[in-house]
Amino acid sequence: VKSWGVTAALAPPPPCIAHRPRVVSHRQASAVV
């Protein structure tokens, strides 16, 4: 689980999130993680 979380954090955001503004995507990514 930890490795997956680290990989998700290092890997680029999914297209659906990347499509949204960077500020929103960054906040959502932080909330998800």
Q: Give per-residue pLDDT as tens, 5-15.
A: 556 566 666 66
Predicted confidence at residue 3, as pLDDT, reads 56
Predicted confidence at residue 15, as pLDDT, reads 60
Number of structural domains in the chain: 1
**Domain, as residue range, for 20:** 2-32
Model confidence band, residue 2 (pLDDT cutoffs 50, 70, 90): low
pTM flag (> 0.85)? no
Please say if the pLDDT value at position 33 is more than 60: no
Task: Report the percentage of the chain scoring pLDDT > 70.
Answer: 0
Q: Are 4 and 32 in contact (CB under 8 A)?
A: no
Q: Are 26 and 9 in contact (CB under 8 A)?
A: no
The DSSP-derived string for the chain is -HHHHHHHHHSPPPHHHHHS-HHHHHHHHHHH-
